A and B are shown apart, each in its own frame.
Chain A
């Protein structure tokens, strides 16, 4: 077997591991093994590439430079990934996705410079340009998504008059540039395309609200996959085509599944500047002069200690306050007093689907206590107390009752069905989606203001005392 065939065979094995990995990641039991299989395939593929000969039969050059760049990347990536806080998970995925898109764009640009003198076929140039466009959009879009999640900029949608028209103009400009470059094969215009694509990525993401950013990251992830596939066409590398396309296709499907979990369509997520307007019902609620009932930890402690069944509804506020360990302490204490405790997990609790499960698992909360929405809602019907910790939009009855609400149609946790509702909130500020919550004004509701972790510690003390 020649060297080239052997390397292609190794690439085929790597591609197979990627398929198996994606398959494994779809089931809780095999997910971790799946990820390790893909990592193994990646090591094989990268290792084999060191021995690859190019079309002229030359060995790979600049190997010390390649190793140096890999070392730099590894030294930066490992601590960032290893020591991040779990609340920062979505932004970290965004940034690792963005750099992948950037790498794909760079590969396409460099290959264009490389082959330009040989007057490549039109379709080769087209692949290059698509790689540059998609990769760059993914890069700059991910950067803005990161800034929004890291709260370096406002998480609210940023809108201005004529926004959709301006965005459309940029998209048309990008396509027109691609056609022009195909005809003239001007490398000057390639840099213009790069700039237009960069701006396009930014303005595409600006109007998307913080709560929707995870869906966006999933879409940008699919984009990067397609950019990698485009690079694969340019380089004539089947492994890149297979891996990039797998991620592109499954990523788009995953994005649709994620928006479906929020009861919305993908186009609604991307183009509606969701949550930018305070809804009419929200204003009315404020003008009503309705009052909320705020309680003390001691009262609530007694209430909890003498309940039969408590359902905890965790939200992003719990994650921000790093309160998952205190929640567990409270739950353990209640259980030792014979109270039945479970957790109601909304599919989009936290900032990404599954985010909350990971946070609670970190605090060693048994997996079987985490109830998915439907099961949780039947539990809540018979619960004495729904303890809402830092959640808001996922328990907002407006999603069921108010057809004018932007979240109308989103499935929610029916915290309102419990006998008593206790909200742990930092303030009366509306949730991430920026919508007023009627449940706060419900006569069954008690509010405990303050940092979730603090309040929970006080509750632990109160329950111990009662």
Chain B
């Protein structure tokens, strides 16, 4: 077992615990945005795809790397945009609440 493997395993194990810890209390209405948001975050595979294409030294590698960058970009861009659209609707609707209280008063 090399030092590098040990280092990566440490990072892995600690990340598992953080991953479990940070989402322990999520109201069910946020389950979908949370899923979509974490979907965008694993789009970080774009970094890996760039490194693969950037060090490709055969046509096969270039082709696979090129495809990987396209797919990863879809994941990351689509993921963040969809999540933002979902969450855009969660902002509090103060104007309509005001309209309601006005109509009550009248």
Contacts and interface: CB of A to CB of B under 8 A. Distances in A.
Do A and B come together as binding partners? yes
Contact of B12 (A14, A121, A241): A241
Contacts of A45: 44, 47
Given A231-B48, A368-B97, A73 B74 contact: yes
B41 A38 contact: yes
Contact of B82 (A21, A32, A81, A372): A81
A354 B19 contact: no
Q: Which of A114, A123, A335 has the most CB of B within 10 A?
A: A114
Interface string A1-28: 0000000000000100011011101111
A425 to B, nearest CB: 25
Contacts of A254: 23, 26, 31, 34-35, 38
Contacts, number: 379
Nearest to A121: B2
B66 to A, nearest CB: 5
B5 interface: yes
Interface in B56-103: 56-58, 60-62, 64-93, 96-97, 100, 103
Given A221-B39, A225-B42, A106 B75 contact: no
Contacts of B97: 366, 368
Interface stretch (A268-276, A291-299, A356-364): A356-364
Chain B interface bracket (under 10, 10 to 19, 20 to 34, 35 or more): 35 or more
Interface in A72-119: 72-74, 76-78, 80-82, 84, 89-90, 92-93, 95-97, 99-100, 102-104, 106-107, 109-111, 113-114
Interface residues of A, number: 117
A339 interface: no
B61 A26 contact: no
Nearest to A224: B42
Given A28-B30, A92-B78, A46 B47 contact: yes
Nearest to B69: A69
A383 interface: no
B44 to A, nearest CB: 4
Contact of B22 (A217, A232, A250): A250
A17 to B, nearest CB: 9
Given A77-B78, A100-B71, A362 B27 contact: no
Interface of A: 14, 18-19, 21-23, 25-28, 31-32, 34-36, 38-39, 42, 45-46, 49-50, 52, 54, 58, 60-63, 65-66, 68-70, 72-74, 76-78, 80-82, 84, 89-90, 92-93, 95-97, 99-100, 102-104, 106-107, 109-111, 113-114, 121, 123, 214, 217-218, 221, 224-225, 227-229, 231-233, 235-251, 253-254, 257-258, 261, 335-336, 345, 347, 352-355, 357-358, 361-362, 364-368, 372
13 contacts: A21-B41, A25-B33, A60-B55, A70-B70, A96-B39, A96-B40, A102-B71, A103-B46, A103-B49, A221-B35, A224-B42, A229-B15, A250-B20
